[in-house]
């Protein structure tokens, strides 16, 4: 038996304030139990957001017996707050990531990200999940962080890595999109969806294959043995399984802390329905190389979903007055860029946001443990990275190694 590894209770915080748009859409929950109906689980997944949902689908597909636990009702974590721009474009531009981890690995990470978006589109179609999953293009605008020269360099780096990207100069950008910036990159392989309906649909598939969800169930402690893992719950119960995967988003046990991972604050809004929007906008995700950045996309019924204004403060999002100021700032930036006015947003929310210094997620065995995996550090690519995590962890638990697992290992 390995040395028991006891840890302190998990960090607890409210993950968001305000009302996310998706909270008022249908089909965003999953039935759950007060206690598991049986014992002897192959895998316990802690967390029922998009990370836990995609992993539960992947593992039950391989006939694993899966139990999911959540301290909240299913799907009431950060996934409900996501603006769900599903992009292969990583927050850290490829030419910069290449400086940090080398061109070969950076290219591999970007290609894997592109593959994950395609895989998610295919999975959603295969499982017929009704979540308004739509293939989109993405327009990445030059801003105060990257001007047109850096944008050209970025487009070239992507070509070198085998990732399609069209550089648009200021005139082309103005002519096609009416946007006044010094340059932009237009790319394919993006999508958007209702993130809560997506995760709920995946959980339903996993449950139909025998997975169970227990909620509320707060994990406070882990103990690893040579043949399994025991989890202590806040109510004193103990549950065990062959392996455990923490898909707990921006809350994590101290054992899972990494110097590369930090929690920031972010803000988002959704307009009233019925805005008059340019024809191209429904097919596009738009974001900018600026700090702080603005990003936006449309939602059904002529709405705009916009967000950004991120700051590296782990708790600022809990301040309601700051949320109102940030919503105004987002709306004002959007007006300046596109002429679209959002005088009174229909939905405004603020949330925690976990990111890593290289923009890549942390996926893999927790240091000192073999049977405890974690996935975190998702940044602006949370949904894409959750897809990669499901693939990497499912391979590990199957006894094989995903060819890109080394890119995301604990660091």
Ligand X SMILES: Cc1cc2nc3c(=O)[nH]c(=O)nc-3n(C[C@H](O)[C@H](O)[C@H](O)COP(=O)(O)OP(=O)(O)OC[C@H]3O[C@@H](n4cnc5c(N)ncnc54)[C@H](O)[C@@H]3O)c2cc1C
Which one, 76 or 181, has the nearer CB to ligand X? 76
Residues 21, 28, 41, 48: which binds ligand X (CB under 6 A)? 48
Which one, 78 or 194, has the nearer CB to ligand X? 78
Cβ(41)–Cβ(212) below 8 Å? no
Ranges within 222-251 binding ligand X (CB under 6 A): 247-249, 251
Query: Which x/- pattern over 304-333 shows residues binding ligand X (rule: CB under 6 A)?
Result: ---x--------------------------
Q: Which stretch binds ligand X (CB under 6 A): 31-39, 78-86, 88-96, 129-137?
A: 78-86
Can residue 364 be called a binding residue for ligand X (CB under 6 A)? no
Q: Which stretch binds ligand X (CB under 6 A): 66-74, 237-245, 272-280, 308-316?
A: 66-74
Nearest by Cα to 184 from 210, 216, 146? 146
Collapse the DSSP code of 245 into the 3-class scheme (helix H, G, I; strand E, B; otherwise coil) and give the result: strand
Cβ(285)–Cβ(295) below 8 Å? yes
Tell me whether the omega of the peptide bond preceding residue 292 falls within 30 degrees of 0, making it cis.
Answer: yes
Can residue 356 be called a binding residue for ligand X (CB under 6 A)? no
CB of 67 to ligand X, least distance (A): 12
Residues 22, 32, 44, 51: which binds ligand X (CB under 6 A)? 51
How far apart, in whole angstroms, are the C-alpha atoms of residue 225 and residue 334? Answer: 53
How far apart, in whole angstroms, are the C-alpha atoms of residue 219 and residue 47? Answer: 10
CB of 249 to ligand X, least distance (A): 2
Collapse the DSSP code of 103 into the 3-class scheme (helix H, G, I; strand E, B; otherwise coil) and give the result: helix
Residues 52, 107, 143, 183: which binds ligand X (CB under 6 A)? 52
Sign of CA dihedral 224, 225, 231, 236: negative
Collapse the DSSP code of 252 into the 3-class scheme (helix H, G, I; strand E, B; otherwise coil) and give the result: coil
Collapse the DSSP code of 265 into the 3-class scheme (helix H, G, I; strand E, B; otherwise coil) and give the result: strand
Can residue 121 be called a binding residue for ligand X (CB under 6 A)? no
Can residue 118 be called a binding residue for ligand X (CB under 6 A)? no
Sign of CA dihedral 28, 41, 376, 70: positive
Ranges within 122-151 binding ligand X (CB under 6 A): none
Residue pointed to by tokens 């929690």: 263
Task: Tell me which residues touch ligand X (CB under 6 A).
Answer: 10, 15, 46-52, 69-72, 76-79, 81-86, 218-219, 247-249, 251, 266, 268, 307, 351, 353, 378, 380-384, 386
């Amino acid at each position: 038996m390995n040395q028991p590894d006891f840890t302190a209770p998990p960090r607890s915080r409210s993950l968001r304030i305000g009302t996310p748009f998706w909270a008022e859409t249908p089909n965003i929950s999953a039935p759950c139990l007060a206690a598991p109906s049986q014992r002897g689980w192959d895998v316990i997944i802690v967390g029922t957001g998009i990370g836990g949902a995609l992993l539960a689908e992947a593992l039950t597909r391989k006939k694993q017996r899966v139990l999911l636990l959540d301290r909240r009702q299913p799907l009431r974590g950060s996934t409900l707050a996501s603006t769900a721009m599903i992009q292969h474009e990583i927050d850290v531009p490829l030419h910069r990531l290449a400086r940090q981890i080398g061109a070969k690995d950076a290219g591999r990470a970007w290609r894997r990200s592109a593959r994950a978006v395609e895989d998610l589109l295919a999975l959603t179609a295969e499982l017929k999940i009704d979540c308004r999953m739509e293939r989109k293009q993405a327009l990445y605008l030059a801003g105060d962080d990257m001007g047109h020269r850096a944008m050209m360099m970025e487009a070239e780096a992507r070509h070198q890595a085998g990732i399609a990207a069209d550089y648009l100069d200021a005139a082309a950008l103005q002519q096609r999109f009416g946007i006044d910036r010094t340059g932009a990159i237009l790319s394919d392989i993006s999508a958007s969806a209702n993130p809560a309906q997506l995760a709920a649909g995946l959980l339903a598939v996993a449950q139909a294959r025998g997975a169970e969800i227990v909620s509320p169930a707060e994990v406070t402690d882990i103990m690893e043995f040579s043949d399994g893992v025991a989890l202590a719950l806040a109510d004193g119960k103990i549950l065990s399984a062959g392996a455990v995967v923490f898909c707990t988003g921006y809350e994590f046990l101290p054992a899972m802390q990494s110097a590369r991972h930090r929690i920031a604050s972010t803000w988002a809004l959704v307009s009233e329905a019925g805005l008059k929007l340019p024809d191209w906008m429904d097919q596009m995700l738009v974001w900018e190389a600026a700090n702080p950045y603005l990003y936006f996309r449309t939602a059904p019924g002529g709405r705009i979903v916009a967000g950004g204004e991120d700051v590296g403060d782990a708790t600022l999002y809990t301040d309601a007055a700051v949320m109102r100021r940030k919503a105004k700032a987002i709306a004002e930036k959007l007006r300046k860029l596109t002429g679209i006015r959002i005088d009174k947003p229909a939905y405004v929310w603020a949330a925690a946001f976990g990111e890593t210094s290289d923009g890549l997620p942390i996926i893999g065995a927790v240091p000192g443990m073999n049977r405890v995996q974690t996935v975190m550090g998702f940044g602006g690519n949370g949904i894409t990275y959750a897809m990669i995590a499901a693939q990497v962890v499912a391979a590990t638990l199957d006894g094989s190694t995903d060819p890109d697992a080394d890119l995301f290992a604990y660091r």
